[in-house]
Amino acid sequence: MFFSIDPNNGIAIYEQIVRQVKFAVADGVLIPGQLLPSVRTLSVQLAINPNTVAKAFQILQTEGVCESLRGRGLAIRSDAVVQCNQARRTLLVERLRSAISEALHGGLSTKEVRRLMLDQLGLLDGNVATVASPVGSVADESEPA
């Protein structure tokens, strides 16, 4: 799995890691029983403080996404898929609701917002990297939506 961190997007780096792990579990990129990279490995890979990675991993454990396997590392729990699907859906619904609300408060009609959203979906279709995308690629345009 490839992690992509943006220190300038307004979301704490540890939260970006947490979200990406949850999205990867929901998408089937990370499967139950699969080990996450070690704190040291991931901190070097992302060029961030190991304490930041440790904080993200602690949150994932607290929320029941991962479990510590003595002597092996941190693994995705067998019951994490349903939870991660729900977390992904909840986060995206909140973000969409916020954007729609901002557009409506800005004076756009429901019809205009709908048209803008459909236009953007059309522009982005097949052109967005996902947690399942290899580094430097975008989603395959032939995949069903």
Q: Residue 137's pLDDT band (boundaries 50, 70, 90)?
A: very low
Distance CA 6, CA 15 (A): 11
Whether the pLDDT of residue 118 is over 60: the answer is yes
4 to 8, 47, 81, 116, 118: CA distances (angstroms): 12, 11, 21, 27, 27
Q: What is the mean pLDDT of residues 38-48?
A: 94
Q: Residue 3's pLDDT band (boundaries 50, 70, 90)?
A: confident
| Secondary structure in 3-state letters for 89-132 | HHHHHHHHHHHHHHHHHCCCCHHHHHHHHHHHHHHHCCCCCCCC
pLDDT at res. 124: 85
Q: What is the mean pLDDT of residues 49-66?
A: 96
- Domain segments of the chain: what residues? 13-80, 82-124
Q: Are 113 and 104 in contact (CB under 8 A)?
A: yes
Q: Residue 79's pLDDT band (boundaries 50, 70, 90)?
A: very high
pLDDT at res. 133: 59
> Distance from first CA to last CA of the chain, Å, rounded?
22
pTM of the model: 0.74
Q: Residue 61's pLDDT band (boundaries 50, 70, 90)?
A: very high
Mean pLDDT for all residues in the chain: 87
Contacts from 34-40 at CB under 8 Å and sequence distance 24+?
34/75, 34/76, 35/69, 35/72, 35/73, 35/74, 35/75, 36/60, 36/66, 36/73, 36/74, 36/75, 36/76, 38/73
pLDDT at res. 131: 59
pLDDT at res. 28: 92
Tokens representing 20 are 């990406």
Q: Are 132 and 27 in contact (CB under 8 A)?
A: yes
- CATH code, 13-80: 1.10.10.10
